[in-house]
Amino acid sequence: MIDLHTHTTCSDGTDSPFSLVKKALAAGITTLAITDHDSTAGWAEAVTAIQPQIELVLGAEVSCLTTDGISVHMLGLLFDGEDREMQQMLADSRDTRLPRMRKMVELLSADGINISLDDVYRATPEGATVGRPHLADALVANGVVASRDEAFLDLLNNDSKYYVTHAAPTPEDAIRTIRKAGGVAVIAHPFASRRGQTITASTFADLVAAGLNGIEVHHRDQNAQEQETLIAIARELSLVTTGSSDYHGTGKLNGLAENTTHQAQWEQLESLANARRVVKK
């Protein structure tokens, strides 16, 4: 089983990197990618947990914005973690998250919703990159909503009046930086319409020109019709197709390996990196 999209406490997951790898082992996963938001902070700890039965793919999920303001997430896998340009891009994205969070809290509070920035800090694990899931957890803790999913559905989705964008690279710039760092770029859940506005099929030509390698097709936030459309796009543009859990631990319903990537697709994707960087014991 191959799961190429998971999160730890180093971003907005609830499992430590070590615990996540152990859970993946127990679930029978043979290839696991660690893809925290705009961070590689969990890599070293995750490596200490691997066993011969599992191989580790190190990566990150890069927060992007199109030129017309649509939020896009780009999975960078197998890149050189020491690449300065890649690390600078991730750091720049992390640095914009705090002012964004402050503004969202201000908007919620102005409407009489019980939330403060201190509440969000208390809901954010030490060392984690603050994000909307932590705001959602704070809203749950304050009794405003019953779950993270409810918070996103009612208050924090991309079309909500409380949503605030943040400075981020364009998808094309993120792809170019990932590829320059020797990695491969897979666009995450591009047609997840339940999250808000999405890119269109015509966008993919520009992404391919920038170096896109694959499309995350099989994901719980994309319905069957959306997945079929993405498969057709991938075939037309000779892109790898992946399936992933987007696992966040107890914060979301997503279960480890609920969607997986076919072995042949993974082998093709791995071959496109400029070096063999899968970590094995």
For the stretch 243-263, pLDDT in tens is: 999 999 987 889 999 999 999
* Whole-number pLDDT of residue 40: 98
| Greater model confidence, 145 or 194 | 145
Q: Give φ, ψ of 246 to 5 degrees.
A: 55, 45
Domains, the chain, in order of start with CATH, read 2-95+167-271 (3.20.20.140), 97-156 (1.10.150.650)
Which residues are CB-contacts of 234 (< 8 A; sequence separation ≥ 6)?
A: 214, 215, 217, 240, 241
What pLDDT is stored for residue 80 in this prediction? 98
**Cβ-based burial of 200 (10 A; exposed 0-12, middle 13-18, buried ≥19):** exposed
Which residue type is seen at 273? Answer: A
Rounded to 10°, the helix 97-110/84-95 angle is 20
Give the residue-averaged pLDDT of 138-143. Answer: 97
The 10s digit of each residue's pLDDT in 53-104 is: 999 999 999 999 898 888 899 999 999 999 999 999 999 888 888 888 999 9
Amino acid sitting at position 242: T
Task: Label residue 238 left, alpha or beta by phi (over 0 means left) and psi (-120 to 50 means alpha).
Answer: left
229-to-14, 71, 183, 210 alpha-carbon distances in Å: 32, 20, 26, 21
DSSP type of residue 191: T
Instruction: Count the neighbouring beta carbons within 10 Å of the beta carbon of residue 89.
Output: 24
Residue 4: its pLDDT value, please?
98
Residues 6 or more apart whose CB falls under 8 angstroms from that of 110 comprise: none
User: Among 61, 74, 60, 269, which Cα is nearest to 171's?
Assistant: 74
